[in-house]
Amino acid sequence: MGSSPVIVGVDGSPDSERALRWAADAARARSAPLRVVHVWPYATAERAAAGEGGGDAVLAGLRDRPYLTALPEVEFRALSGLADTLLPALGAEGQLLVLGSRGRGGFASLLLGSNGLACAARSACPVVVVPRPDRAGTERGSDGEAVPPAVRQVTLGVDAASDEPAAIGFAFAEAARRGARLRVVSGYTWPMLLPPAFEYAAVYESTQPEYEDALGLQLADALAPHRERHPGVEVAVQLRAEDAAGQLVAASVRSDLVVVARHRRRLPVGPRLGSVAHAVLLHAVCPVAVVPETTDDDGGSGDGA
């Protein structure tokens, strides 16, 4: 196949098994190859030599999964090194990188492992993190796994005052692929936060309804070309003077997927996720896609293709 693969990181944990199932469905929907990767943190010479996973017990245990045998092309690959370095680098080779919320070596009290954070912050392609089913608000079936919502929905978190074409394009394409409606969620602060010298400017220059109307027009302009590209996608827009992360976490209860832009903060110690993406990854009930913006990030496909 000529398309880039969907890549999933596994380590033998239940979390990575959930990620593998999600990645298999994503590869099938995209008619893309699936690459299953296991990173050995402390590799012996024999394990390092098993470059295609032939001697890897974790990968060997996954080869006969029924949901994998139905796929046209599946590659198993074992790597040796640091997972939080190697996994983000794999994003340059794939169209999507999928991980569980925690790996085998994570602390039980953590909601998100270091590998998920590293990939979401640095991967060149969109990263999907599949959460555990024990998060508050998750509806679970008799098997203990999360039950999908009755109505298929993709939720997009977008800053109405910013241009986020990659995240918007990814969300529209994902909704079209799933036959789902798209819920666009945007939050803003009122009164506007201004330096002390301008603390009264917001009062005299605009009212809250005027400010919200202006943001609504900006948001409509940002969505317009994607609506034209995907005319079959039903779109509902929610613009409120509320915390964006809180709105998205609440919406995740009734969503198949939440999509956010990366919004990296560039600090002396290295790139980090923006506060909204970080909070949603930590608390959302459904899988979360973090999409890098091609304008000032490492790259990524706006349409998720």
Which string of DSSP letters, residue by residue, matches 113-126? -HHHHHHHHH-SS-
- pLDDT at 96 exceeding the cut of 60: yes
Q: Of 19-33, 103-117, 143-157, 192-206, which has the strongest mean pLDDT?
A: 19-33
Strand-pairing partners, residue 182, are 154, 235
Residue 143: CB partners within 8 Å, gap ≥ 6?
A: none
Cα dist from 69 to 28, 90, 117, 169, 172, whole Å: 11, 23, 30, 31, 29
Using one digit for the tens of pLDDT, what is the confidence trace for 239-292?
A: 998 899 999 999 999 999 999 998 755 544 444 678 899 999 999 999 999 999
**Which pLDDT value is given to residue 76?**
95
- pLDDT score of 135 more than 90: no
Average pLDDT, the chain: 83
> Once rounded to an integer, what is the mean pLDDT over residues 95-124?
74
Distance CA 51, CA 41 (A): 14
pLDDT tens for each residue of 220-238 = 999 999 999 999 999 999 9
pLDDT of 32 = 95
| pLDDT for the residue numbered 67 | 93
Type of residue at 148: P
* pTM of the full structure: 0.85
Residue 1 in this model has a pLDDT that exceeds 70: no
pLDDT in tens, 11-45: 888 899 999 999 999 999 999 999 999 988 765 54
The residue that leads in pLDDT, 58 or 295, is 58
Most confident range (mean pLDDT) of 1-5, 116-120, 285-289, 300-304 is: 285-289
Q: What is the dihedral of CA 10, 12, 13, 17, to 10 degrees?
A: 60
